[in-house]
Structure 1
């Protein structure tokens, strides 16, 4: 699906869809990044679109992308990288934080990144999934990833994400960067159900890299 905003065509995909193909976090991808030049213009378009992240493709052969929320530029973010890798069908992406390897494995698209590329997230554990599901949106100011074990032995987690940026995105449906941070903290592979029903898979890899994967579909 495409959307037109400020005379720019934007591809829309849902990243980290659930097993039934629903849910996932909507991502806007501007394939013609040259059509939106400068930080101010990109910030305006990202704010106009209102998605948690919008990607501007600056080189579709090398996979150079620029990631924006409605309020800030991000050096790295998980669901934009997974969505862009699927849409552009590339083996790697180049973001401000570094090079992100990507691969396709059946219905899943995977990226490999480092937890230190996603600082500033508070991981807050709760005693049960019911407590996580009952949470109210906290006040803006702190980026909170609320989580609880659904099945610790199986690595199954229930999570919700509250960016706290004050830019209108009070809760993220699916956040690969936060899942990556939780995986680094726990040191094990995870199967995360986040938001209404999105699914994020993670796996620690060699040399400090962590893989994050999920299903992607056109919005």
Structure 2
């Protein structure tokens, strides 16, 4: 690797396992050109990589292996935990952040999230049994585990546009689902990652999860 890289797991489960890996280049100034950042993100191969342009102000730049994102959920939660700042500045807007015990929380707008197809299934078992669909649309498959308690089972299939068959934990899709359902959610995604969300005033949505360093990190 040509850049120092922190590798985090974002939205870890209650047992500290799972979570979606995130690459964070803390010294983004060393790679100021967008095309070079995109090439590095493709080389790293994470679903998202964050370049930190100003660690004190929380200015960040987010990339998938193939494109730049104005906003994404798990990169913002991971960056907020790593930088320990009260807000992040993304190209979509300012994301507020806070720490609460084992959880890191951000507040953002669902309209900042990229479009996703939210596909509901009848049972969590149906979601568990899904095969990776053919290349195509970005699908967030979900079902109620316990509707009264707001507990959701979900899996995310990016359509292989970035060479990723299944995304382990997807904050942006969780924001979209929270806006659609209009209620707080406790989402179990992928192999056992956990995402918590809650709608707030003015169209804002708060989202939280656990973050840790990946044991396979650079």
| Same fold by TM-score greater than 0.5 | yes
* Whole-angstrom CA distance in 2 between matches of 1:120 and 1:180: 11
Q: Which residue number corresponds to residue 84 of structure 1? A: 79
Q: Is 2:145 the counterpart of 1:145?
A: no
Q: Which residue number corresponds to residue 164 of structure 1? A: 159
Aligned residues: 214
Q: Which residue number corresponds to residue 192 of structure 1? A: 187
TM-score w.r.t. length of structure 1: 0.96
Runs ≥4 residues deviating over 3 A: none
* Whole-angstrom CA distance in 2 between matches of 1:56 and 1:140: 28
Please tell me whether the aligned partners of residues 47 and 162 of structure 2 are also in contact (alpha carbons under 8 angstroms).
no
CA displacement at 1:119 relative to structure 2: 3.2
CA displacement at 1:169 relative to structure 2: 1.2
* Whole-angstrom CA distance in 2 between matches of 1:99 and 1:140: 33
Instruction: Provide, for residues 2-25 of structure 1, a one-character-per-residue CA deviation record: whole Å limited to 9, x for no partner.
Output: xxx12x100111000000000000
Instruction: Provide, for residues 93-148 of structure 1, a one-character-per-residue CA deviation record: whole Å limited to 9, x for no partner.
Output: 00010000000011000000011001310100000011101111112221110000
Q: Secondary structure at the match of 2:107?
A: strand
Q: Secondary structure at the match of 2:179?
A: helix
Q: Which residue number corresponds to residue 49 of structure 2? A: 54
Answer with 81-90 or 165-174: which moved more: 165-174
TM-score w.r.t. length of structure 2: 0.97
1:100 to 95, 111, 114: 95
* Whole-angstrom CA distance in 2 between matches of 1:67 and 1:162: 19
Runs of at least 5 residues in structure 2 that lack an aligned partner in the other structure = none
* Whole-angstrom CA distance in 1 between matches of 2:20 and 2:117: 20
Runs of at least 5 residues in structure 1 that lack an aligned partner in the other structure = none
* Whole-angstrom CA distance in 2 between matches of 1:31 and 1:195: 27
- Counterparts in 2 of 1:94 and 1:165: CA distance versus 1, 3 Å: farther
Q: CA RMSD in A?
A: 0.8
1:41 to 20, 36, 58: 36
Instruction: Provide, for residues 141-182 of structure 1, a one-character-per-residue CA deviation record: whole Å limited to 9, x for no partner.
Output: 211100000000000000000112522111100011100100
1:211 to 192, 202, 206: 206
* Whole-angstrom CA distance in 2 between matches of 1:29 and 1:190: 27
